[in-house]
Structure 1
Amino acid sequence: MIITIQSQNYTTALDSAHPLLIKRTLNEPSVCELWLSLAASGSLAVPVRNQSLTVTGDDGTAYFTGYIAAAPMPEYAGLALEGPRYRYAVQAISDEVLLDQVLMAPSKGASGQSAGALMTSLVTRTAARSLVTSSLTLNLGVSHFAPDAGTPFSGCASQVAGQVRAAYRALTGQLTLTPVPGATHPLNETDGSLTLSNLTLTASVKRALANDITVCGENEAWAYATEYFLGDGTTTQFPLSADPYYIASSKAKIITELFNEAGINPAVWAANSTYFGIGAAGLTMMGGNGNDGQTPLTWIDPIEMGGTLMLEVDGLTLATNSAGIVGGFFSGLLTAASCIAGFQATAQSGTGAVSLQPVVIGAATGTSYSINPANQYTLRVRVHCQEQERIQATYYSFGDSGGISGGGKINLAGANLLFELIEVVDGVAGMPVILYDGAIPNLPDTCSILPASSINLQGTMRSFSLTNLGSGWVVCTPSGGAPFTRRVGPSTANSECEVERTGKLAFYTGYIPPVGEQIAVTYRTQGRAVGRSVNSASQSTLAAAGLPSVSAWIGSVTNPPARSSADCRTAASVIVQASSGVSALWSGTYKGTRLSFASDVWPGDELQLNATSLSLSAQVVVRTVEITYTASSPDLVQYEVTFANDWADDLAIKTSITVPATTWLPAPVGYTPMANLNALTVTALSGSSVTVNTGVAPPTGGGFEVRTRDFAFMPGSDPTLVLRGSEQTLTFARQSANDRFYIRMFDGSTPPNYSEFSTALFINLPL
């Protein structure tokens, strides 16, 4: 072994009283512990904290690279001629310790990235340069990743690796991410590579084999509700029939940037410093190279386009001849053609006068507004999508027949858009001007967020923000007039109303709906996500053997987070395929020397155990590796390896036995829901009837069912049934001044499959 500390060879100083110990744990930093006895008159100094330490085998194997984590502690070793002598305990942590020591730039989430790109982004957020990321090429997708505030780099890296059933490693200054298993180590009784006396198999007492799995998840959005009220000129608050869905308030502020640091923060922004900087007025835009999409300022995390989002640019000034896009959502390339929603700055030929106009799906549309270079402007884009989870989680495991995976579906949806502009003259803000109020049929599942994409933008920007406002959207129709969208959000954002978490629609002073104005508030209700899956083959086998056929497990999935019942069903399906298999609970330890294995062993590797005397043939995943070494020539390296399969010890799917009190149990088995009617629109509403367009053609042999009570959809007739129809357009009668209608699609199966969630119409209008 060669022990190097800060480029000096300390091999001869290794103390023989204690063996060198290296402990590797799956998706955690590695730890190295050793003791040094330094000659009194030697040239080797006592190591200090943060010095680099490497342990390399005589054959060149890199066993450990890292940094001393704490000042070495002395231990009295005895009395020599020179006086008292000491040995020093050295503890080092692998290379990522330097990243763990810095505070990562906070993130409220990234969606739709590959695991390799997301891991690279995590390194970027530390602003550290001690790890090379060029090998992070793993292309497995991560639907959504939102670390808890304050989680260090290694904790975030562990979560990312776990979501795709991979192992990360920081070694020799290189960060790698490899699918599990990384390397395979065959151990066979017949050829002598497996020593049975060194193998210990352990029985799990945490849980048994299971063939009926119920998975609980987070709060999710349920019914697609539209609730109607009538303005009377005085009422400011309207109670909703259900609590609206909101994400946690701690995650609502996605981006808040005041541009008040010494420079643009490279941990969260990607920018060209030639054209963007920080000055007394905030962000300074200093032109561009004249080419569309080549000079952007980009938030490094792709954002999930779900719920109601508000993008805000404040304190904007633009000089003459400015050109580019300000405050935009982009999909794919960062050119104007890929701008889903933003403000396009255009300079007139000859005069250089600048105007701002909304861009919707790459095309300038709506009202154009002329800019005064002496004034400041506030720009806002509100985007409302009824789907909250745009990319479902992907879950991975391993069973008797090999790898198992499921999920990753994209939820398609359209969106409503509202663009506004406010001109500020001498510090006095004018009234908001609506430049565009419309909708698009298809909204990308994720977008890049850009304060500016410059062709030749010249000016300043005081602040930039992106906020999740929940699931609410409000459209009002004056008596005898055309419908228009109300500005939803906090009063500080020049909003007209707010859909409150407490279940109220509240209008601010000056924006009270007048007499006869019809109010339509769209939102999602909320409930607890849950899903269930059963392995019928396992149950049949147990029943045939005269054993109890059902072995159930119920709990929650914590990583990847189960944000919807669809995620829960996927997780349950993947888990039950692994948890009911013969190899589900294999775990234990194996001891050997470096000669026992074909190569160095790391967590995430696979041991192939074959012992004919035990009728054992198993593939197991290495979880920890303890390497011990006592000075010898040649190297005599001892390994103690612990292993476990996915159900014996959580690997890619992290679980807990917690069952939230709000979970609706038992969850249905073998549930195949029809599509939700998230495109349903009300085409006519009067005091006597309602006409809706479901937005989709009816399925063969099926149609649409309307009821007065939710979660009561089934064949047959009862008092809650309003009608069943096989036409895309349905008309049904009003029943009271406070009608509650729930609509789902069903197919021709027996019994029929229904949409998972209802489209709800709550009508608080006189008959």
Structure 2
Amino acid sequence: MRISFDFGDGNGPVDYTATLVAPPPAQHSNASTTIETFRIERKRGQYARCFGTVEVGTSGLEPPQQGCRVTVHATSGAQLFSGVIVSPAVRAGSVLNGSAPVAFEAMEDAYLVNIAPDVSLQPTSSATHPVAFSENAIVLQPESAETAGERATDVLVTGAEEPTTYVTELFQGDGTTATFALTAKPFVPSGQKSLIADSFIDSQFRSAVWRFADTGQHIGLGSGGLRITGGNGFDGQTYMAAQQPVEMGGTLCAEMRGLVLQPGSAGVLLGMYGNVVTVPTCFAGVQVNASGGAQSLSALVNGSATGTPYNWATGHSYTLRVRLHCGETQRVLGSYQALVNGAVETWGGGLVDAPMQMMIEVLDEGLASSTRATVLYAGAVSSSIASAVFAPVNSQSLVMTAAAITLQQQGSAWVATTQTDGSVQVRRPGTPETGEDYRISGTSLEFFAGREPAAGALVTATYRLGQRSQARVQSATATAQRAQMGLPGFRTASSRVTDPQPRSSADCAAAAQALLGFYGSPAFGVRGKCSMANAERTADVQPGDAVALPVAATPVSVPVTRVTIRSGHSVPETLEYAVDFEQAKSNGLSFRTEMGAAADAALPAPVYAVVTTASLPQLAVTVAGTTSLQVDAGTIPPVGGGFEVRRHDGGWGPDQPGAAPDGELVLRSPVRSFSIPRAAFAERFYVRMYDGSETPVYSGQSSLICTHLPTG
């Protein structure tokens, strides 16, 4: 073994191997004169460290100092350690060869640049070290009480609050009423509601928020805030984009305030893009046109300009808004990993396709605050991207300034009014100062002064209800084995997944399946120690590798948690590896859990079932009459299936022959459009779709229609 120190004086690494001190056996009983044993320690989740003692004597070498770099190589040439000394110390009362030995402790190179030790879940099959009981002094330890108590075959997982029922709530305006009481508080996704808010008052861009493509240095900051001075004339080569992708769920509002454009400007503002920032991949945005002397703004939808262009004036200040609404608040499903016998397996993941409503608008800030913004586009698409790149600036030749850019998650609500002539107006949430229409506080829908629904107008508020997400999953393998053995019941466990927290029951089910896979691994709960000699000559052992224990036909791979290397101070060289291994939650899961279900979990929990019949996020009331509601379910039913309407959210299925009707079933329709009879001012109707199987499978979530309307 060779150890070298580099003092940073230009002489490079100096060999100190001859000065390394091995502690005499007699000193082990005398703590005041004990020599620090040379060793290298590697522990999962911590920086690797090197300890030792040198005694320079009359060699002419300087004692190592704090800040010296140290490298350790085996005789075979393999590098065992590289780092920096953090704490040398002279051992008082111990003198060897006329000089005091110096004990040192060094930390690996990652410590210098503040790189956190790797504790991520990694597959171990590519770095597995086979060991044999006869050769490696394997000592297996009893399974810990913690892992023994968690070895479950029936798992309940709870997560965050999730959206459930799709609500369509109907009111009638009278021209003066400004506040309407909603049946329930609309669901709002947990987490940060203001995704981006930048007024560009700092001296430089916030690197945690923005990234750029700008070879010509056209994007900068100035007295007007954000300043763009052109581009290279090509689409997608000069842009400013958010660092993080935007999940296209719930109600989003992107806004640019204080926009001042100069003649000749061309590009896209407030764009939501697919994987790359180019016009063809722009799902929604505002296109700035400058051709033939015309200066206009157009809505950009799915890569194409649409709607009536808006002519902008030089020197005017504008506000642009892109509003998006999707009934699904979660568009990107969570994925959960577990280490199963040395290989990482993944459950969950995927994207949720969903329709999207959108409204794109422009407001001249020089007009009165009561002036409504001009709508460039209002419509809907049947399919939308689940995740977007938000690029507020994509410049071909934009010359402009902007005072602020914001992006907000406004929840799950979307409000519209239908006038007596049949025209539909999407209402805009916000504040009265910015010329918008309403706000929702708790269960109160409040329209601002001058924005009250007209007499006879139908007010339609759509939103989602919320409840605790949860899923209970049982091991199919354990179920079959216990049935064969005639054993009842399961070993159960309840967990709260805390990081990352599941956002839906589907996420909870994926996490539960990962736990079942983890608990069912032959390596789960196995822990112990083994020793190796000169492992660096074949494959050096690191935390995160695995040892393969020959305890079955297929060796059991257990993660390495700690490695200690000591020199045998012999010729030929012997490096002794002491290896600790254990398969536990801390090194086997990509997520963190706490024991016990959430306090508001719905118990007893049914076993989670994958729903094969879709819910009805596009269900709409097309006509609200005094005696009936005309409903469009938004989709064609499965062959042999249809739509069922009930007065309460339960008891789904037709009345059984010969049984007395329960009075809850309103109707079953085999077609997409159907009429629901009305009998009272305030009523509730729950709707689910069912398939044509012998035992019908229903939608996973109900759609609820709530009326607050006069009857004939």
Q: TM-score, normalised by structure 1?
A: 0.81
The 5 A counterparts of 1:422-433 are 422-425=363-366, 431-433=372-374
In structure 2, runs of 5+ residues without a counterpart are 23-34, 656-660
Residues 653 and 81 of structure 1: is their aligned pair in 2 closer, same or farther, counting only changes over 3 Å?
A: closer
Q: Match for residue 219 of structure 1?
A: 161
Q: Match for residue 362 of structure 1?
A: 303
Asked if 2 retains the 8 angstrom alpha-carbon contact of 1:260 and 1:282, the reply is yes
What do residues 404-460 of structure 1 show as CA deviations (whole Å, max 9, x unaligned)?
433223211111111121223499996522222211221101110112111111121
Distance 1:427 1:480 in 2: 28
Asked if 1 retains the 8 angstrom alpha-carbon contact of 2:36 and 2:103, the reply is no
Q: Match for residue 145 of structure 2?
A: 205
Asked if 2 retains the 8 angstrom alpha-carbon contact of 1:276 and 1:284, the reply is yes
Residues 301 and 77 of structure 1: is their aligned pair in 2 closer, same or farther, counting only changes over 3 Å?
A: same
What do residues 497-525 of structure 1 show as CA deviations (whole Å, max 9, x unaligned)?
1233x222222233222332221111111
Q: Match for residue 596 of structure 2?
A: 658
Distance 1:571 1:749 in 2: 30
Asked if 2 retains the 8 angstrom alpha-carbon contact of 1:311 and 1:466, the reply is yes
Residues 423 and 616 of structure 1: is their aligned pair in 2 closer, same or farther, counting only changes over 3 Å?
A: same
Secondary structure of 1:98's aligned partner: coil
Distance 1:374 1:67 in 2: 60
Asked if 2 retains the 8 angstrom alpha-carbon contact of 1:181 and 1:604, the reply is no
What do residues 185-222 of structure 1 show as CA deviations (whole Å, max 9, x unaligned)?
12234xx5x43x33323313112432111111111111
1:10: Cα distance to partner?
Answer: 6.9
Q: Match for residue 28 of structure 2?
A: none
Secondary structure of 2:506's aligned partner: helix
1:36: Cα distance to partner?
Answer: 5.2
The 5 A counterparts of 1:35-114 are 35=52, 37=54, 39=56, 42-43=61-62, 46-48=65-67, 54-66=71-83, 72=87, 74=89, 76-78=91-93, 85=100, 87=102, 89-92=104-107, 94-95=109-110, 98-99=113-114
User: Are positions 1:19 and 2:20 aligned together?
Assistant: no
Asked if 2 retains the 8 angstrom alpha-carbon contact of 1:296 and 1:453, the reply is yes
Secondary structure of 1:682's aligned partner: strand
Asked if 2 retains the 8 angstrom alpha-carbon contact of 1:584 and 1:648, the reply is no
Match of 2:527 among 587, 593, 609: 587
1:275: Cα distance to partner?
Answer: 1.5
1:23: Cα distance to partner?
Answer: 4.1
Match of 1:379 among 320, 340, 343: 320
Q: Match for residue 682 of structure 1?
A: 621
Q: Match for residue 708 of structure 1?
A: 647
Q: Percent identity?
A: 30
Asked if 2 retains the 8 angstrom alpha-carbon contact of 1:308 and 1:472, the reply is yes
Distance 2:411 2:65 in 1: 57
Residues 463 and 22 of structure 1: is their aligned pair in 2 closer, same or farther, counting only changes over 3 Å?
A: farther
What letter corresponds to residue 257 of structure 1 in structure 2?
Answer: D
Residues 319 and 52 of structure 1: is their aligned pair in 2 closer, same or farther, counting only changes over 3 Å?
A: farther
Q: Match for residue 25 of structure 2?
A: none
What letter corresponds to residue 564 of structure 1 in structure 2?
Answer: S
1:531: Cα distance to partner?
Answer: 0.9
User: Are positions 1:314 and 2:314 aligned together?
Assistant: no
Distance 1:227 1:66 in 2: 65
Match of 2:448 among 502, 508, 511: 508
State which structure, 1 or 2, has the greater radius of gyration over its C-alpha atoms.
Answer: 2
The 5 A counterparts of 1:414-453 are 414-425=355-366, 431-453=372-394
Asked if 1 retains the 8 angstrom alpha-carbon contact of 2:496 and 2:594, the reply is yes
Distance 1:201 1:29 in 2: 23
Asked if 1 retains the 8 angstrom alpha-carbon contact of 2:371 and 2:435, the reply is no
Distance 1:302 1:331 in 2: 10
Secondary structure of 2:452's aligned partner: coil
User: Are positions 1:253 and 2:253 aligned together?
Assistant: no
Match of 2:689 among 739, 745, 752: 745
420-429 or 717-726: which moved more?
420-429
Match of 1:30 among 47, 55, 74: 47
Q: Match for residue 29 of structure 2?
A: none
Distance 1:605 1:734 in 2: 67
Distance 1:65 1:742 in 2: 67
Asked if 2 retains the 8 angstrom alpha-carbon contact of 1:474 and 1:521, the reply is yes
User: Are positions 1:238 and 2:180 aligned together?
Assistant: yes
What do residues 313-356 of structure 1 show as CA deviations (whole Å, max 9, x unaligned)?
1222211101111111011331111111111111122x3x5321
Distance 1:617 1:4 in 2: 45
Residues 719 and 23 of structure 1: is their aligned pair in 2 closer, same or farther, counting only changes over 3 Å?
A: farther
Residues 8 and 403 of structure 1: is their aligned pair in 2 closer, same or farther, counting only changes over 3 Å?
A: closer
Residues 265 and 404 of structure 1: is their aligned pair in 2 closer, same or farther, counting only changes over 3 Å?
A: closer
What letter corresponds to residue 345 of structure 1 in structure 2?
Answer: V
Q: Match for residue 520 of structure 1?
A: 460
Asked if 1 retains the 8 angstrom alpha-carbon contact of 2:63 and 2:102, the reply is no
Residues 402 and 459 of structure 1: is their aligned pair in 2 closer, same or farther, counting only changes over 3 Å?
A: closer
Q: TM-score, normalised by structure 2?
A: 0.87
686-695 or 260-269: which moved more?
260-269
Distance 2:647 2:75 in 1: 77
Asked if 2 retains the 8 angstrom alpha-carbon contact of 1:326 and 1:451, the reply is yes
Secondary structure of 1:188's aligned partner: coil
Q: Match for residue 629 of structure 1?
A: 566
Residues 21 and 490 of structure 1: is their aligned pair in 2 closer, same or farther, counting only changes over 3 Å?
A: farther
What letter corresponds to residue 471 of structure 2 in structure 1?
Answer: G
Residues 434 and 645 of structure 1: is their aligned pair in 2 closer, same or farther, counting only changes over 3 Å?
A: same
1:701: Cα distance to partner?
Answer: 3.3
Distance 2:489 2:101 in 1: 64
* RMSD over aligned Cα atoms: 3.1
